[in-house]
């Protein structure tokens, strides 16, 4: 086994390193999944609100037409809100950047530790 000062590179250490990388990938995937699910729920809510507003607008138009026989066109009910655009929430592109940074730091640490092992005098 290689040694760096008092630390050794072992199979357990490599397994922990790989586990951390896999955990980072799982967190990144999970965050993206939750963000997509949140956007889907917001879209469903916007559609439901639009359907309710349309039903309310139709009911009011029918009531107005029934109340006034002289008027041929019902009053228009203003619809508030715009269901075409949803607010952007979450970190967005931050998670992949964090994973790349973590991989870069881990890789550079690994390379520097390998260089330290090569320069370490084990004849002591």
pLDDT in tens, 50-87: 998 888 888 777 666 666 555 555 556 566 666 666 66
The pair of structure tokens assigned to 5 is 């000062």
* Region 7-31 average pLDDT: 85
* Region 107-122 average pLDDT: 78
Q: What is the DSSP letter of 88?
A: -
pLDDT in tens, 90-106: 667 777 888 888 888 88
Check whether 26 has a pLDDT greater than 50.
yes
Non-local (6+) Cβ contacts of 49 within 8 A are: 81, 83
Beta strand 7-9 with 2-4 is: antiparallel
Rounded to the nearest integer, the mean pLDDT of the chain is 77
- In sequence order, which ranges of the chain are alpha helices (DSSP H)? 11-67, 94-119
């Amino acid at each position: 086994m290689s040694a760096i000062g008092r630390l050794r590179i072992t199979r357990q250490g490599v397994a922990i390193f790989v586990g951390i990388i896999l955990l980072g990938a799982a967190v990144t995937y999970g965050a993206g999944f939750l963000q997509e699910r949140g956007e889907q729920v917001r879209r469903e809510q916007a559609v439901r609100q639009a359907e309710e507003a349309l039903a309310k607008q139709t009911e009011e138009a029918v009531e107005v037409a029934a109340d006034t026989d002289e008027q041929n066109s019902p009053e228009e009910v203003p619809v508030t809100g715009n269901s075409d655009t949803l607010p952007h929430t979450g970190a967005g592109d931050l998670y992949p950047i964090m994973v790349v940074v973590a991989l870069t730091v881990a890789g550079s640490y690994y390379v520097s530790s390998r260089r330290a092992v090569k320069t370490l005098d084990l004849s002591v």
